[in-house]
């Protein structure tokens, strides 16, 4: 690693500010501002459509956000039209303020206020970059010239706000704050505050973004604390933070920044955003909940939020994402499983009012999850979820819902007859023996396909109780052709209701597993095929299901 080419690019305050380090926890929730529809949207491979933006906006309102950045109206017609749609169709609740972003340039500010005409409550967020690197390399301007841009932008906001119908508040960001000399950042922000002339009733927002995360979180906290102590009219200023996650410390930056005096957080759901992303508001809010502080946001149904987020953004919520990931409450260690099971029993027996279970910092049910650990013991009273969980987490099988239900009754009946608990290996043995690659009484020893007139033709050799038959049939697909051949030869009038497949593990040597769901004589049957080749696996699944039928009928 070429570590010699890097040097610290941040600036520490001229005086030490470490009072934040004496605080134990964050005592109250900040003002939350979602920037999913602007900062998050611009980071998507395919930005949201107008309809998707409206749906996402409604989700954010439902969660409880009172400030939502909806875009950069002067940047594109879609951004402009989205804001106009929100205003003209009265989609913005009276207690919600939309926020818009603009550069400190007159024609852009003018276009922004045109889009805001008639908006009941809006925050106009103006910014310009103040960092040493940008001043030298991008703009080629002096400190005074950069400060003048900020001052002029603030004046333009006030002028256009007076000419536009609506209720407007102002926000200013010294973009790339973390790469700006702190005393100079303070000088620029104070100049802007003087222009805005905030009051107790009409406070101004000064946003201190970690546009690029450069330092350890405690340095950012010290920067925030220094600004908080030295900003003009501090009692009329809301300090906002906009942490990015370049060093993977966005949540820590936000939390320490709140301890240091910040009043407000800008972030996104699941941390979506440019490069490594913005700060994850879900994590921040539930971290507060973990300490008994009401965040003011409703994340009681995270699976629902995940579904909407993944569908609209085409992004994936990582399985280990704090609180929201599908595996964050699953324990794979035996000792963890035992401790969790005992902790849940203890909690029930002692009727505890506060949550305190080993290895589970919060109750999964509080975020819409069902309590599950790997300590799942199967007997005649077990449900389909436990059996499917074992087959999936221990052996990699992801059964379709209908199959899970059918298999649960099958396994529970065996447990009931044996009058014993079934261990994971017992369940796996039953599953393999009775459903996977079942090759009696029939088996397909070989097959090949050809295409004729857009149809697949199969030629196969069938072994049936020691008798060999060569069969051929056509179908819309390979599996359909094999099914037609077996229907005709075996005189079985069955229908394929569902077919699914997946890989048991990653890599070229992985096995493919196929599940088939068929109906025959008004009864439902399932089969599983396992093979390195997915076509072979699908045929094995069909043969397995048919063999279950044949055995049941005594053929």
Report the C-alpha gap between 240 and 220 in whole angstroms: 13
- State both tokens at 373: 């650990």
Q: Which residues pair with 62 in a beta bridge?
A: none
Range of the domain at 503: 442-552
CATH number at residue 185: 3.20.20.70
The pLDDT, as a whole number, for residue 429 is 93
CATH number at residue 480: 3.30.160.270
The pLDDT, as a whole number, for residue 8 is 86
Same domain, 417 and 303: no
Q: For the chain, what percentages of helix, strand and coil (3-state, to nearest 5) are there?
A: 45, 20, 35
Residue 238 lies in a domain: yes
- Residue whose token pair is 């963890």: 336
Q: Is 204 helix (H, G, I), strand (E, B) or coil?
A: strand
Cβ atoms of 365 and 357 within 8 Å: the answer is no
Cβ atoms of 249 and 263 within 8 Å: the answer is no
Same domain, 65 and 136: yes
Residue 446 lies in a domain: yes
Cβ atoms of 129 and 149 within 8 Å: the answer is no
Q: Which of 399, 392, 398, 351 is nearest to 372 (CA)?
A: 392
Same domain, 178 and 102: yes
Same domain, 390 and 305: no
Residue 352 lies in a domain: no
The pLDDT, as a whole number, for residue 516 is 97
Same domain, 286 and 418: no
Q: Which of 332, 307, 228 is nearest to 15 (CA)?
A: 228
Same domain, 237 and 121: yes
Residue 358 lies in a domain: no
Distance of CA 103 to the CA centre of its chain: 30
Same domain, 413 and 477: no
Same domain, 37 and 147: yes
String of DSSP letters for 115-160: HHTTEEEEEEEEEEE--HHHIIIII---HHHHHHHHHHHHHHHHHH
Q: Which of 513, 470, 514 is nearest to 496 (CA)?
A: 514
Number of domains into which the chain is organized: 3
Last residue of one domain, picked from the residues 366, 393, 422: 422
Residue 360 lies in a domain: no
Same domain, 455 and 413: no
Same domain, 259 and 136: yes
Same domain, 415 and 495: no
Last residue of one domain, picked from the residues 283, 313, 343: 313
Residue 364 lies in a domain: no
Residue 432 lies in a domain: no
Last residue of one domain, picked from the residues 313, 337, 356: 313
Same domain, 282 and 418: no
- State both tokens at 416: 């009931």
Cβ atoms of 421 and 382 within 8 Å: the answer is no
Residue 321 lies in a domain: no
Per-residue pLDDT of the chain (555 residues; tens, 9 = 90+): 888 888 888 999 988 778 999 999 999 999 999 999 999 999 999 999 999 999 999 999 999 999 999 999 998 899 999 999 999 999 999 999 999 999 999 999 999 999 999 999 999 999 999 999 999 999 999 999 999 999 999 999 999 999 999 999 999 999 999 999 999 999 999 999 999 999 999 999 999 999 999 999 999 999 999 999 999 999 999 999 999 999 999 999 999 999 999 999 999 999 999 999 999 999 999 999 999 999 999 999 999 999 999 999 999 999 899 999 987 886 555 456 557 667 777 888 888 889 998 888 998 889 988 764 433 445 555 444 567 767 877 788 999 989 988 998 898 788 778 887 777 888 899 999 999 999 999 999 999 999 988 899 999 999 998 899 999 999 999 999 999 999 999 999 999 999 999 998 755 567 999 999 999 999 999 999 999 999 999 999 999 999 999 998 876
- State both tokens at 221: 């906290």
> For 130, how many CA atoms within 13 A lie in the half-sphere containing its CB?
32
């Amino acid at each position: 690693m070429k570590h010699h080419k890097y040097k610290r690019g941040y600036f520490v305050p001229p005086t030490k500010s470490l009072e934040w380090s004496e605080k134990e926890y964050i005592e109250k929730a900040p003002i939350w501002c979602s920037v999913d529809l602007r900062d998050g949207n611009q980071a998507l491979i395919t930005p949201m459509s107008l309809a998707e933006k409206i749906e996402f906006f409604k989700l954010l309102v439902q969660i409880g956000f009172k400030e939502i950045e909806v875009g950069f109206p002067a940047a594109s017609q879609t951004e402009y039209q989205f804001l106009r749609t929100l205003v003209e169709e009265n989609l913005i609740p009276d207690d919600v303020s939309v926020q818009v972003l603009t550069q400190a340039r007159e024609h852009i500010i003018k276009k922004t206020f045109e889009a805001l005409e008639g908006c009941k409550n809006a925050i106009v967020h103006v910014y310009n970059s103040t960092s040493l690197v940008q001043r030298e390399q991008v703009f080629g301007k002096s400190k005074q010239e950069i400060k003048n841009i900020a001052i002029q932008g603030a004046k333009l906001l006030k002028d256009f706000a007076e000419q536009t119908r609506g209720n407007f508040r102002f926000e200013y960001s010294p973009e790339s704050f973390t790469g700006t000399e702190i005393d100079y950042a303070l000088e620029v922000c104070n100049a802007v505050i003087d222009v805005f002339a905030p009051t107790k009733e009409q406070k101004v927002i000064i946003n201190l973004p970690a546009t690029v995360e450069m330092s350890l979180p405690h340095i950012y906290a010290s920067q925030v604390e220094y600004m908080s102590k030295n900003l003009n009219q501090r009692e009329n200023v809301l300090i906002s933070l906009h942490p990015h996650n370049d060093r993977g410390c966005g949540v820590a930056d936000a939390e320490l920044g709140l301890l240091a005096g910040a009043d407000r957080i800008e972030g996104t759901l699941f941390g979506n955003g440019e490069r490594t992303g913005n700060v994850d508001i879900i994590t921040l809010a539930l971290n507060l909940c973990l300490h008994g502080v009401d965040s003011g946001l409703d994340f009681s149904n995270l699976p629902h939020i995940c579904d909407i987020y993944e569908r609209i953004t085409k992004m994936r919520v990582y399985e280990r994402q704090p609180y929201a990931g599908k595996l964050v409450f699953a324990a794979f260690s035996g000792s963890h499983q035992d401790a969790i099971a005992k902790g849940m029993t203890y909690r029930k027996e002692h009727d505890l009012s506060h949550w305190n279970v080993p290895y589970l910092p919060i109750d999964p049910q509080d975020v819409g999850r069902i309590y599950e650990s790997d300590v799942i013991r199967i007997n005649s009273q077990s449900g389909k979820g436990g059996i499917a969980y074992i087959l999936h987490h221990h052996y990699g099988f992801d059964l379709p819902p209908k199959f899970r239900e059918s298999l649960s009754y099958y396994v529970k009946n065996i447990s009931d007859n044996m009058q014993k608990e079934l261990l994971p290996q017992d369940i796996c043995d039953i599953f393999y023996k009775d459903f996977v690659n079942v090759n009696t009484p029939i088996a397909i020893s070989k097959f090949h396909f050809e295409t004729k007139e857009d149809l697949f033709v199969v030629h196969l050799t069938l072994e049936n109780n020691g008798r060999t038959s060569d069969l051929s049939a056509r179908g819309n697909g390979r599996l359909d052709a094999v099914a037609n051949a077996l229907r005709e030869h075996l005189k079985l009038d069955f229908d394929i209701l569902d077919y699914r497949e997946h890989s048991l593990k990653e890599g070229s040597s992985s096995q493919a597993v196929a599940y088939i769901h068929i109906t025959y004589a008004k009864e439902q049957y399932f089969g599983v095929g396992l093979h390195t080749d997915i076509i072979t696996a699908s045929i094995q699944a069909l043969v397995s299901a048919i063999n279950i039928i044949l055995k049941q009928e005594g053929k």
